[in-house]
Amino acid sequence: MEQMELKKLQILSAKIRIDILEMLVHCGQGHLGGAMSLVETMAVLYGKQLHVDPKNPQLEDRDMVVLSKGHAGPVWYATLAECGYFPKEWLFTLNQGGTKLPSHPDRTKTPGVDMTTGSLGQGTSSAAGIATGQRMKGSKRYTYLMVGDGELNEGQCWEAFQYIAANRLNNCIVIIDDNKRQLDGYTKDVLNPFSIPDKMKAFGFHTEVVKGQDIEAIDAAIDRAKAVKDQAVCIVLDSIKGAGVKYFEDMVSNHSVKFNNDEVIGEAKKAVENLQAWIEKEEPSCLS
C-alpha cells in the first residue's frame, strides 16, 4: 500500500476512534470494546475496499456489509458519519428516543446500514442470503460479514458457515473479530472455540489470520480473499478488545463501559485529545 494511502486510513481510524469515544461518553454508556477492535477493518472497508456511494446509500449494485455482532454499532455509525453518509451530529443521538442510530443497527433507520442485527448469530444467515442473491443476479459485488469470536457460541453461525462453504460463496467475505473476549469474560473460558482458523479450514474455508489492528495486513488479506476462486473465504482478525486506548484495553470488563465517573470520562477525554493532536500533526501532509 502507498504510504499516503496508509496515512489516510490511519487518520480515518483515529477519527473513528474519537467519534466512538465521544458518542459513548455523551450517551453515558455503550459497547466500547468490540467497537474499538473493528476500527481498522471498517477504515479499510469504507476508506478503500468497498464499492459504495455515501450520497446514494441504496446504490443498486453495491457491496454489502453485515455487522453480525450488532452491539458494535458505534464503530459502524462513526465510520458512516466520517464517510459522509449522514451528519456527524447524529452520533450524539445514539440510542436516544427517536434516533436514527439505535444501539444495534436497523436497516430501516440508518443510511448505509444494509442489515438489521443484534441478536447474535442471525447476521451470518442474512449475509449468506444476501450473497446468494448477489450471485443469482450475476453481480460482481461482495458481502462483508463481520462476526465476533463470542458470537461463535451461536449454533446459527455454524449452519450459515456450512452453507457458505458448501455453496462456495466466495463473494461472502467472512471476517471473524477474534478479540479473545466476549460479554462475560474470555472466550476460551466461556465456551472454548479452540482454534478458530482450524475450525474454519475444516468447514472448507480458505482462511487467513491477520493482526486486527494492522491496516496494511487487513487490506492485503481482503485483496487475497477476492482472488480466491471456487472456495469460501474467511479472514480471522487477531484483534484487541478496546484497541487503541491502553486504559480501555486493560479494563477488566470493557464490553459495555459506563461513563459515569470522573476517572473513566477523564481517560476517554485524554484519549480523544491525544488522537486529535496526532491527527493535527499528520493530516496536513495528506492534504497537501
Q: Quote the least distance from Cβ 53 to ligand TPP, whole Å.
A: 29
Closest CA to 174 of 198, 152, 134, 205: 205
Residue given cell 455503550 in the structure block: 30
Shortest gap between Cβ of 127 and ligand TPP (angstroms)?
Answer: 15
Nearer of residues 32 and 52 to ligand TPP, judged by Cβ: 32
Closest CA relative to residue 169, chosen from 220, 118, 127, 197? 127
Residue (11 or 244) nearer to ligand TPP, CB: 244
Query: Using an 8 Å Cβ cutoff, are 211 and 174 in contact?
Result: no
Please, what is the minimum distance in Å from the beta carbon of residue 70 to ligand TPP?
7
CB 214 within 8 A of CB 220: no
The answer to whether residues 101 and 93 touch, using CB atoms and an 8 Å cutoff, is yes
- Taking the least distance from each CB to ligand TPP, the nearer of 47 and 70 is 70
Distances in Å between the Cα of 55 and the Cα atoms of 59, 84, 100, 170 are 9, 7, 17, 28
Between 114 and 177, name the residue whose CB sits nearer to ligand TPP: 177
Residue 266, number of CB atoms within 10 A of its CB: 12
Strand, coil or helix: what is 147?
A: strand
Q: Report residue 193 CA to chain centroid gap.
A: 21
Per CB under 6 A, residues contacting ligand TPP are 33-34, 37, 69, 71-72, 118-121, 148-151, 177, 179, 181-183, 241, 255
Shortest distance, position 193 Cβ to ligand TPP, whole Å: 10
For the record, the C-alpha cell of 226 comes out as: 477476492
User: Is 62 or 255 the residue whose CB approaches ligand TPP more closely?
Assistant: 255
Which residue lies nearer to ligand TPP by CB, 106 or 151?
151
**Residue 118 burial (C-beta neighbours within 10 Å; 0-12, 13-18, 19+):** middle
In DSSP terms, 148 is beta-bridged to 177
User: Can you say how many angstroms the Cα of residue 119 is from the centroid of all Cα atoms in its chain?
Assistant: 16
Please report how close the Cβ of residue 47 comes to ligand TPP at its closest, in angstroms.
21
CA-closest candidate to residue 145, choices 199, 163, 102: 163
Q: Which is nearer to ligand TPP, 71 or 206 (CB)?
A: 71
Query: Least distance in Å: CB of 183 to ligand TPP?
Result: 4
Shortest spacing between CB 152 and ligand TPP, in angstroms: 7
